[in-house]
Amino acid sequence: MEPVLSIEKLETEFRTDGGTFKTVDGVTFHVAAGETLGVVGESGCGKSVTSLSVMGLLPKKIGRVREGVIRFHGQNLLEKSEKEMRAIRGNRIAMIFQEPMTSLNPVFKIGDQLAESISLHLKLRRRDAMRHAVEMLRKVGIPNPELVVKEYPHQLSGGMRQRVMIAMAMSCNPEVLIADEPTTALDVTIQAQILDLMRKLQEEEQTAIVLITHDLGVVAEMCHRVVVMYAGQVVEEADVDTLFESPTHPYTQGLLASLPQLVGDQNRLESIPGIVPSPLDMPKGCRFAPRCKYRMDACDQVQPELVDVASGHRCRCLLVDKEVTQ
Protein backbone atom coordinates (compact mmCIF):
# COMPACT_ATOMS: atom_id res chain seq x y z
CA MET A 1 0.00 0.00 0.00
CA GLU A 2 1.11 3.59 -0.65
CA PRO A 3 2.45 5.17 2.55
CA VAL A 4 0.49 8.07 4.00
CA LEU A 5 3.52 9.17 6.03
CA SER A 6 7.11 8.25 5.30
CA ILE A 7 10.32 9.30 7.04
CA GLU A 8 13.58 8.94 5.14
CA LYS A 9 17.06 9.18 6.71
CA LEU A 10 15.89 11.67 9.35
CA GLU A 11 18.58 13.35 11.44
CA THR A 12 17.54 15.64 14.28
CA GLU A 13 20.07 17.49 16.40
CA PHE A 14 20.10 19.64 19.54
CA ARG A 15 22.54 22.34 20.60
CA THR A 16 23.57 22.42 24.27
CA ASP A 17 26.33 23.95 26.37
CA GLY A 18 28.12 20.61 26.09
CA GLY A 19 28.01 20.63 22.30
CA THR A 20 25.74 19.63 19.41
CA PHE A 21 24.46 16.07 19.29
CA LYS A 22 22.06 13.98 17.21
CA THR A 23 19.15 12.40 19.04
CA VAL A 24 17.71 10.93 15.82
CA ASP A 25 20.27 9.49 13.42
CA GLY A 26 19.21 8.23 9.99
CA VAL A 27 15.73 7.01 10.95
CA THR A 28 13.63 5.61 8.09
CA PHE A 29 10.15 4.11 8.29
CA HIS A 30 6.65 4.53 6.85
CA VAL A 31 3.02 3.90 7.73
CA ALA A 32 0.07 3.29 5.39
CA ALA A 33 -3.64 4.10 5.69
CA GLY A 34 -5.38 1.72 8.08
CA GLU A 35 -2.07 0.48 9.51
CA THR A 36 -0.69 0.73 13.04
CA LEU A 37 3.08 1.03 13.32
CA GLY A 38 4.60 0.47 16.74
CA VAL A 39 7.76 2.38 17.70
CA VAL A 40 9.44 0.89 20.78
CA GLY A 41 12.64 1.36 22.75
CA GLU A 42 14.01 2.62 26.05
CA SER A 43 13.63 6.21 27.23
CA GLY A 44 16.02 8.49 25.38
CA CYS A 45 16.20 6.39 22.20
CA GLY A 46 14.68 9.13 20.02
CA LYS A 47 11.05 7.98 19.72
CA SER A 48 9.41 11.20 20.90
CA VAL A 49 11.92 13.48 19.12
CA THR A 50 11.08 11.69 15.86
CA SER A 51 7.39 12.44 16.39
CA LEU A 52 8.06 16.09 17.28
CA SER A 53 10.14 16.37 14.09
CA VAL A 54 7.15 15.16 12.08
CA MET A 55 4.81 17.64 13.77
CA GLY A 56 7.24 20.55 13.37
CA LEU A 57 7.26 21.10 17.13
CA LEU A 58 10.97 20.96 17.94
CA PRO A 59 12.15 23.79 20.21
CA LYS A 60 13.38 26.24 17.58
CA LYS A 61 16.26 27.75 19.55
CA ILE A 62 18.01 24.46 20.28
CA GLY A 63 16.55 21.78 18.01
CA ARG A 64 16.41 21.31 14.24
CA VAL A 65 16.10 18.67 11.55
CA ARG A 66 19.59 18.50 10.07
CA GLU A 67 18.89 16.12 7.18
CA GLY A 68 16.22 13.86 5.79
CA VAL A 69 12.72 13.98 4.33
CA ILE A 70 9.29 13.68 5.98
CA ARG A 71 6.66 13.00 3.34
CA PHE A 72 2.90 13.28 3.91
CA HIS A 73 0.99 12.13 0.82
CA GLY A 74 4.20 12.67 -1.13
CA GLN A 75 4.76 16.26 0.04
CA ASN A 76 7.83 17.09 2.13
CA LEU A 77 6.62 18.59 5.42
CA LEU A 78 10.05 20.09 6.04
CA GLU A 79 9.45 22.44 3.10
CA LYS A 80 6.11 23.69 4.45
CA SER A 81 5.73 27.14 6.01
CA GLU A 82 4.53 27.49 9.60
CA LYS A 83 1.13 28.62 8.31
CA GLU A 84 0.84 25.53 6.12
CA MET A 85 1.89 23.29 9.04
CA ARG A 86 -0.76 24.83 11.30
CA ALA A 87 -3.42 23.78 8.77
CA ILE A 88 -2.09 20.19 8.83
CA ARG A 89 -1.15 19.88 12.51
CA GLY A 90 -4.08 18.85 14.69
CA ASN A 91 -6.26 18.34 11.64
CA ARG A 92 -4.78 15.91 9.10
CA ILE A 93 -1.95 14.81 11.40
CA ALA A 94 -2.74 14.75 15.12
CA MET A 95 -0.67 13.80 18.14
CA ILE A 96 -1.47 12.50 21.61
CA PHE A 97 1.26 13.86 23.85
CA GLN A 98 2.87 11.95 26.69
CA GLU A 99 2.45 14.71 29.31
CA PRO A 100 -1.12 16.09 29.22
CA MET A 101 -0.54 18.71 31.93
CA THR A 102 2.13 20.42 29.85
CA SER A 103 -0.01 20.22 26.70
CA LEU A 104 -3.24 21.64 28.12
CA ASN A 105 -3.43 25.38 28.86
CA PRO A 106 -4.02 25.74 32.62
CA VAL A 107 -5.97 29.02 32.33
CA PHE A 108 -8.59 27.85 29.83
CA LYS A 109 -11.47 25.49 30.43
CA ILE A 110 -11.43 22.04 28.86
CA GLY A 111 -14.37 22.80 26.57
CA ASP A 112 -12.79 26.00 25.27
CA GLN A 113 -9.56 24.21 24.37
CA LEU A 114 -11.38 21.41 22.55
CA ALA A 115 -13.81 23.75 20.79
CA GLU A 116 -11.02 26.03 19.55
CA SER A 117 -9.36 23.23 17.61
CA ILE A 118 -12.66 21.86 16.33
CA SER A 119 -13.87 25.31 15.19
CA LEU A 120 -10.59 26.05 13.43
CA HIS A 121 -10.26 22.81 11.49
CA LEU A 122 -13.87 21.68 10.98
CA LYS A 123 -15.24 25.21 10.41
CA LEU A 124 -18.03 24.77 12.95
CA ARG A 125 -19.81 27.48 14.91
CA ARG A 126 -18.92 27.63 18.60
CA ARG A 127 -22.16 25.99 19.78
CA ASP A 128 -21.73 23.08 17.35
CA ALA A 129 -18.03 22.80 18.21
CA MET A 130 -18.84 22.59 21.93
CA ARG A 131 -21.45 19.93 21.25
CA HIS A 132 -18.85 17.96 19.28
CA ALA A 133 -16.38 18.40 22.15
CA VAL A 134 -18.86 16.96 24.64
CA GLU A 135 -19.49 13.97 22.36
CA MET A 136 -15.75 13.29 21.99
CA LEU A 137 -15.27 13.38 25.77
CA ARG A 138 -18.11 10.89 26.12
CA LYS A 139 -16.47 8.61 23.52
CA VAL A 140 -13.22 8.44 25.49
CA GLY A 141 -15.04 7.35 28.64
CA ILE A 142 -15.24 10.62 30.61
CA PRO A 143 -18.35 10.66 32.84
CA ASN A 144 -20.57 13.76 32.84
CA PRO A 145 -18.80 15.42 29.89
CA GLU A 146 -21.27 18.33 30.00
CA LEU A 147 -19.74 19.30 33.35
CA VAL A 148 -16.13 18.45 32.49
CA VAL A 149 -16.08 20.97 29.60
CA LYS A 150 -16.60 23.69 32.22
CA GLU A 151 -13.62 22.61 34.35
CA TYR A 152 -9.94 23.54 34.24
CA PRO A 153 -7.13 20.99 33.68
CA HIS A 154 -5.97 21.10 37.32
CA GLN A 155 -9.42 19.97 38.44
CA LEU A 156 -9.03 16.65 36.62
CA SER A 157 -6.98 13.58 37.50
CA GLY A 158 -3.98 12.56 35.39
CA GLY A 159 -5.98 9.84 33.67
CA MET A 160 -8.84 12.23 32.91
CA ARG A 161 -6.44 14.79 31.44
CA GLN A 162 -4.92 12.08 29.24
CA ARG A 163 -8.36 11.17 27.94
CA VAL A 164 -9.02 14.84 27.17
CA MET A 165 -5.83 14.89 25.08
CA ILE A 166 -6.96 11.76 23.24
CA ALA A 167 -10.38 13.33 22.56
CA MET A 168 -8.67 16.47 21.24
CA ALA A 169 -6.40 14.48 18.91
CA MET A 170 -9.27 12.41 17.53
CA SER A 171 -11.84 15.19 17.23
CA CYS A 172 -11.00 16.05 13.60
CA ASN A 173 -10.68 12.45 12.35
CA PRO A 174 -7.00 12.78 11.38
CA GLU A 175 -5.41 10.81 8.55
CA VAL A 176 -2.36 10.15 10.72
CA LEU A 177 -2.49 9.81 14.50
CA ILE A 178 0.80 9.85 16.41
CA ALA A 179 0.20 8.46 19.89
CA ASP A 180 3.11 8.99 22.31
CA GLU A 181 2.54 6.63 25.26
CA PRO A 182 -1.25 7.26 25.07
CA THR A 183 -2.24 4.90 27.90
CA THR A 184 0.61 5.43 30.38
CA ALA A 185 -1.48 7.24 33.02
CA LEU A 186 -4.54 5.02 32.68
CA ASP A 187 -5.67 1.90 34.51
CA VAL A 188 -6.15 -1.29 32.53
CA THR A 189 -9.91 -0.85 32.10
CA ILE A 190 -9.64 2.64 30.64
CA GLN A 191 -6.58 1.56 28.64
CA ALA A 192 -8.67 -1.12 26.95
CA GLN A 193 -11.38 1.44 26.16
CA ILE A 194 -8.87 3.85 24.61
CA LEU A 195 -7.25 1.14 22.49
CA ASP A 196 -10.70 0.00 21.31
CA LEU A 197 -11.54 3.62 20.44
CA MET A 198 -8.33 3.98 18.42
CA ARG A 199 -9.12 0.74 16.59
CA LYS A 200 -12.67 1.93 15.85
CA LEU A 201 -11.38 5.25 14.49
CA GLN A 202 -8.94 3.36 12.32
CA GLU A 203 -11.64 1.06 10.94
CA GLU A 204 -14.05 3.92 10.21
CA GLU A 205 -11.59 6.47 8.83
CA GLN A 206 -8.65 4.25 7.71
CA THR A 207 -6.42 6.31 10.01
CA ALA A 208 -2.70 5.54 9.97
CA ILE A 209 -1.47 5.24 13.57
CA VAL A 210 2.10 5.59 14.82
CA LEU A 211 2.02 4.13 18.33
CA ILE A 212 5.02 5.10 20.47
CA THR A 213 5.15 2.90 23.55
CA HIS A 214 7.31 0.85 25.90
CA ASP A 215 4.45 -1.61 26.52
CA LEU A 216 5.10 -4.66 24.36
CA GLY A 217 1.73 -6.08 25.35
CA VAL A 218 0.01 -3.09 23.70
CA VAL A 219 2.28 -3.57 20.66
CA ALA A 220 1.26 -7.21 20.33
CA GLU A 221 -2.42 -6.28 20.58
CA MET A 222 -2.51 -3.17 18.40
CA CYS A 223 0.30 -3.11 15.83
CA HIS A 224 0.76 -4.53 12.35
CA ARG A 225 4.46 -3.68 12.10
CA VAL A 226 7.08 -2.66 14.67
CA VAL A 227 10.15 -0.43 14.57
CA VAL A 228 12.67 -0.92 17.39
CA MET A 229 14.88 2.10 18.16
CA TYR A 230 18.08 2.29 20.17
CA ALA A 231 20.32 5.33 20.75
CA GLY A 232 18.69 7.33 17.96
CA GLN A 233 18.72 4.60 15.32
CA VAL A 234 16.32 1.97 14.01
CA VAL A 235 17.89 -1.38 14.93
CA GLU A 236 15.10 -3.67 13.75
CA GLU A 237 11.87 -3.51 11.77
CA ALA A 238 9.43 -6.35 11.09
CA ASP A 239 5.78 -7.28 11.13
CA VAL A 240 4.53 -7.90 14.65
CA ASP A 241 4.34 -11.71 14.37
CA THR A 242 7.90 -11.99 13.04
CA LEU A 243 9.27 -9.65 15.70
CA PHE A 244 7.78 -11.61 18.59
CA GLU A 245 8.49 -15.07 17.13
CA SER A 246 11.92 -14.48 15.54
CA PRO A 247 13.61 -11.36 16.96
CA THR A 248 17.00 -10.92 15.28
CA HIS A 249 18.74 -7.97 16.93
CA PRO A 250 20.21 -8.70 20.40
CA TYR A 251 18.49 -5.58 21.77
CA THR A 252 15.08 -6.76 20.56
CA GLN A 253 15.79 -10.18 22.05
CA GLY A 254 16.64 -8.51 25.35
CA LEU A 255 13.42 -6.48 25.37
CA LEU A 256 11.30 -9.57 24.76
CA ALA A 257 13.25 -11.60 27.34
CA SER A 258 12.45 -8.94 29.95
CA LEU A 259 8.73 -9.72 29.71
CA PRO A 260 7.23 -11.78 32.58
CA GLN A 261 7.10 -15.48 31.77
CA LEU A 262 4.00 -17.42 32.76
CA VAL A 263 5.35 -20.87 31.94
CA GLY A 264 7.87 -23.09 33.69
CA ASP A 265 9.60 -22.31 36.95
CA GLN A 266 11.20 -19.03 35.86
CA ASN A 267 10.22 -16.38 38.38
CA ARG A 268 13.07 -13.96 37.71
CA LEU A 269 12.84 -11.21 35.10
CA GLU A 270 15.67 -10.94 32.59
CA SER A 271 17.37 -7.56 32.21
CA ILE A 272 19.71 -5.87 29.74
CA PRO A 273 22.96 -4.92 31.50
CA GLY A 274 24.38 -1.40 31.26
CA ILE A 275 22.75 1.86 30.19
CA VAL A 276 21.96 3.70 26.96
CA PRO A 277 25.05 5.69 25.82
CA SER A 278 25.05 9.48 26.10
CA PRO A 279 24.35 11.30 22.81
CA LEU A 280 27.54 13.27 23.46
CA ASP A 281 29.63 10.11 23.75
CA MET A 282 28.37 7.48 21.31
CA PRO A 283 30.46 4.32 20.73
CA LYS A 284 32.50 4.34 17.51
CA GLY A 285 31.06 1.06 16.25
CA CYS A 286 27.76 -0.58 17.12
CA ARG A 287 25.92 1.54 19.68
CA PHE A 288 24.57 -1.53 21.46
CA ALA A 289 27.95 -3.30 21.61
CA PRO A 290 28.82 -2.33 25.23
CA ARG A 291 25.64 -4.10 26.41
CA CYS A 292 25.57 -7.00 23.93
CA LYS A 293 26.29 -10.60 24.95
CA TYR A 294 27.27 -11.44 21.34
CA ARG A 295 29.88 -8.65 21.12
CA MET A 296 32.76 -9.25 18.68
CA ASP A 297 35.95 -7.23 18.11
CA ALA A 298 34.47 -5.84 14.89
CA CYS A 299 31.49 -4.46 16.82
CA ASP A 300 33.73 -1.86 18.46
CA GLN A 301 35.03 -0.57 15.12
CA VAL A 302 32.29 -0.99 12.49
CA GLN A 303 28.90 0.69 12.67
CA PRO A 304 26.44 -1.82 11.15
CA GLU A 305 23.97 -0.87 8.43
CA LEU A 306 20.27 -1.66 8.45
CA VAL A 307 20.09 -4.69 6.15
CA ASP A 308 17.32 -7.00 4.94
CA VAL A 309 16.95 -10.26 6.87
CA ALA A 310 13.87 -11.30 4.92
CA SER A 311 11.06 -9.58 3.05
CA GLY A 312 9.84 -6.74 5.27
CA HIS A 313 12.33 -7.62 8.02
CA ARG A 314 15.39 -5.41 8.56
CA CYS A 315 18.09 -5.52 11.24
CA ARG A 316 21.14 -3.42 12.17
CA CYS A 317 23.67 -6.01 13.43
CA LEU A 318 26.99 -7.41 12.22
CA LEU A 319 25.70 -10.92 12.93
CA VAL A 320 23.34 -10.58 9.96
CA ASP A 321 25.49 -8.28 7.78
CA LYS A 322 27.16 -10.90 5.58
CA GLU A 323 29.40 -8.43 3.76
CA VAL A 324 31.10 -7.43 7.02
CA THR A 325 31.33 -10.77 8.79
CA GLN A 326 32.58 -12.81 5.84
What CATH number does residue 182 fall under?
Answer: 3.40.50.300
Please state the pTM of the whole predicted model.
0.91
In terms of domains, do 139 and 188 share one? yes
In terms of domains, do 165 and 195 share one? yes
Average pLDDT over residues 233-254: 96
Per the structure, the count of domains in the chain is 2
Taking residue 39's Cβ as centre, other Cβ atoms within 10 Å add up to 29
In terms of domains, do 173 and 281 share one? no
In terms of domains, do 38 and 171 share one? yes
- In this predicted structure, what is the pLDDT of residue 47? 93
Taking residue 303's Cβ as centre, other Cβ atoms within 10 Å add up to 16
Report whether pLDDT(144) > 70. yes
In terms of domains, do 200 and 276 share one? no
In terms of domains, do 184 and 253 share one? no
State pLDDT tens for residues 221-236. Answer: 999 999 999 999 999 9
In terms of domains, do 110 and 202 share one? yes
Going by pLDDT thresholds of 50, 70 and 90, the confidence category of residue 325 is very low
Last residue in a domain, options 206, 223, 240: 223
State pLDDT tens for residues 51-70. Answer: 999 999 999 889 999 999 99
- Domain residue limits at 199: 3-223
Average pLDDT over residues 81-87: 93
Last residue in a domain, options 192, 223, 254: 223
In terms of domains, do 60 and 198 share one? yes
Last residue in a domain, options 169, 197, 223: 223
